[in-house]
Each structure stands twice: as C-alpha cells, then as structure tokens.
C-alpha cells in the first residue's frame, strides 16, 4: 500500500494534503461535503487578538485562472476561537490542527501564538507575517529579513508548539527572508502567500477592490510558487509547507519534489470544495505510476 505519510517537526500526518488558511474557515462547512478526517490537517482562518470585520467591500475580484482577495483578516478574535471554535472543531476533526495567527505588531503575534500554543488540538502555529491586505501597499513583516526575524524570535520564545513562518512572494529574495527566519528560530516555513495584484472595473474606471489592490492566488501562480519553494528549500534546512496554485495530485508531487514536506491547497477549495479529497484519492495511483512507494522519499529530489 502506498505510504503517503509525512512528518512535520515530529508531527506525523497521514498525508501531506492540507487546506490553506482562509479558504476552509474552521472546517465546519466542509465537513458536510466529506469526512475531513482524511486530510493531513488543516490551517484555520488567521486569528488576531481582537475580532475583525475585515476590509471594506468589494474585496474579491475574479481573474483568469485565479482570484484576488482583500479580506483583511476577518475573524472572530482569539477569545472566540479558543472558547468556541476550537471546542467545536474537536467534535468533528480528530487530528491536530494548524493555528494560523495574524497581527499588526510583534506583541500581537506573541499574544496569539502563546495562547493558541496552549490548546491541545493545535499541532503547529503558522505565523502569518505576510498578509498583503492589512497595510496600504501590502507592506508586512515578511517584506524584509530583519522584521521577519524579529517576529520569529519573539514568537519562538513563547510558543510551546512548532512555529511555521508564512512568507510573502512580494520580495526580491524569498530565500534571504527564509534564512533570517531559520536563524531566528523558526521550526518551519509556509510559502507562498498571495502575490499583490489588482483589477480595474472599466465601466467605473476604478479598481474593482475597495482597497484597490489585494492578494492574487489560484492556479495561475503555481509556477511562481514552485520556483520559490525550490529556491527556499535549497537555502534552509527546516521543513516547508508549499502552497500557491496547487490544484491536482500532480501539483502536490511537483511541490514535494521541489522541497515541500507538506502541501497546502488554497483557492481551488473555493472553486471545487472536494479538491483535497480528490487529491488524496488520486495520489496512490499517481505514486504507483511514478514508482514512488513512500511519498516522504521524494521531498526535495528535484534539487
């Protein structure tokens, strides 16, 4: 039987398939489509200290082979996530989850990561320093190695769980930022977040998105994401969760050959809510076709 298991910082996953933060909520809607316990894990919606309504609407724009979002970290806030969402998740998801944390300051990241790392259901803290939608122009803590390292070191000090730093593609060298995070104590990296993009409504001659620009994701960005995972894997020793435009079992194999230990699927879940289930079901036959017995054996073999 095909062995699809992978291990992320000591956490063994049945398979590397993980819905990405922001497209899967807390899993409650998806559990009605299929048994989400087949997933390796899932990363829940980015959590901030206070509840956030997010950015003004419109905050979604359709694009060829993808979409732009400018959600602005809408979420119920850490108190509600800990007292309501996590107990609710434990009724239908029996594996460790990935807690994605967002923030506007180092102290907010620290606060959220420390509290969520205490929760027994949380296996990994994913520190989203790369949201392009919270400051005009998309600047964030992932924009330069120094600020990325500052958040990483501060969160590392307080987290009882492995921390994965989520990196931005909107930089000159993602490998430089990755190395800075590794040196500052990151246990792993998640990449890539969305690419800054925009659309214009030609009837109104105005940007479609109220915030003007947003983060572009979806199938169109897969080659960009793959290249960045490849470069980053060559630059660091810590494990990587690869993401960006992944939509098929073949994409998962490519990401892993580039150097990802696990693979997150984002925008495609919004187009096809069954995509993760389909990928998990398709992987064994693709592995057989490629003579792969253990999926873990292909991590980084294209390097």
Scanning 89-97, 126-134, 156-164, 242-250 for contacts with ligand SIN by CB under 6 A, the matching segment is 126-134
Structural tokens at position 62: 């359709």
Most distant CA pair in the chain, distance: 57
Under rule CB under 6 A, residue 71 binds ligand SIN = yes
β-sheet with 214-217: strand ranges across: 60-63, 66-69, 214-217, 195-197
Q: Is 63 a catalytic residue?
A: no
User: Given candidates 41, 47, 143, 194, which one binds ligand SIN under the rule CB under 6 A?
Assistant: 194
> Cα separation of 302 and 230, whole Å?
8
Count of residues interacting with ligand SIN (CB under 6 A): 14
Scanning 71-79, 144-152, 225-233, 276-284 for contacts with ligand SIN by CB under 6 A, the matching segment is 71-79
Under rule CB under 6 A, residue 128 binds ligand SIN = yes
Residue 76 beta carbon to ligand SIN: minimum distance, rounded to whole angstroms: 13
Residue pair 219/268 in contact (Cβ under 8 Å)? The answer is yes
User: Given candidates 131, 149, 171, 178, which one binds ligand SIN under the rule CB under 6 A?
Assistant: 131
Chain-centroid distance of CA 237 in Å reads: 19
Taking the least distance from each CB to ligand SIN, the nearer of 191 and 256 is 191
Name the catalytic one among 112, 131, 181, 276: 131
Scanning 68-76, 91-99, 115-123, 295-303 for contacts with ligand SIN by CB under 6 A, the matching segment is 68-76
> Cα separation of 211 and 72, whole Å?
10
User: Given candidates 48, 117, 133, 159, which one binds ligand SIN under the rule CB under 6 A?
Assistant: 133
Under rule CB under 6 A, residue 27 binds ligand SIN = no
Query: In the range 150-189, which residues lie near ligand SIN by CB under 6 A?
Result: none
Taking the least distance from each CB to ligand SIN, the nearer of 51 and 284 is 51
Distances from the Cα of 141 to the Cα of 95, 134, 177, 183, angstroms: 30, 11, 10, 16
Structural tokens at position 83: 């007292």
Residue pair 285/291 in contact (Cβ under 8 Å)? The answer is no
Taking the least distance from each CB to ligand SIN, the nearer of 190 and 232 is 190
Q: Which residues on neighbouring strands pair with residue 81, listed in sequence order? A: none
Residue pair 72/211 in contact (Cβ under 8 Å)? The answer is yes
- Positive or negative, the CA dihedral 136, 140, 146, 147 is positive
Residue 74 beta carbon to ligand SIN: minimum distance, rounded to whole angstroms: 6
Residues designated as active site: 131
Which residues of the shown chain bind ligand SIN in the complex (CB under 6 A)? 22, 46, 69, 71-73, 128, 130-133, 193-194, 215
């Amino acid at each position: 039987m095909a062995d699809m298991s992978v291990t992320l910082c000591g956490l063994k996953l049945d398979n590397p398939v993980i819905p990405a933060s922001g497209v899967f909520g807390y899993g409650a809607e998806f559990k009605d489509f299929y048994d989400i316990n087949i997933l390796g894990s899932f990363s829940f919606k980015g959590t901030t200290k206070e509840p956030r309504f997010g950015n003004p609407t419109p905050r979604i724009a359709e694009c060829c082979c993808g979409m732009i979002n400018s959600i602005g970290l809408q979420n119920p806030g850490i108190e509600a996530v800990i007292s309501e969402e996590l107990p609710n998740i434990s009724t239908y998801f029996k594996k460790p989850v990935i807690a994605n944390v967002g923030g506007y300051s180092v102290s907010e990241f620290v606060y959220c990561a420390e509290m969520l790392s205490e929760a027994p259901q949380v296996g990994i803290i994913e520190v989203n320093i790369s949201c392009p939608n919270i400051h005009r122009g998309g600047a964030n803590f992932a924009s330069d190695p120094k600020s990325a390292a500052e958040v990483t070191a501060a969160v590392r000090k307080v987290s009882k769980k492995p921390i994965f730093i989520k990196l931005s593609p909107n930089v000159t060298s993602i490998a430089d930022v990755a190395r800075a995070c590794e040196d500052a104590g990151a246990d792993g990296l998640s990449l890539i977040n969305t690419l800054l993009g925009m659309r214009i409504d030609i009837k109104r001659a105005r940007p479609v998105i109220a915030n003007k620009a947003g983060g572009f994701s979806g199938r169109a960005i897969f080659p960009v994401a793959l290249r960045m995972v490849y470069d980053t894997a060559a630059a660091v020793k810590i494990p990587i969760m690869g993401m960006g435009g992944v939509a098929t079992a073949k994409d998962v194999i490519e990401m892993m050959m580039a150097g990802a230990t696990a693979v997150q699927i984002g925008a495609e879940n919004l187009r096809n809510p069954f995509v993760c289930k389909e990928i998990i079901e398709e992987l064994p036959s693709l592995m057989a076709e490629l003579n792969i017995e253990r999926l873990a054996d292909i991590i980084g073999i294209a390097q």
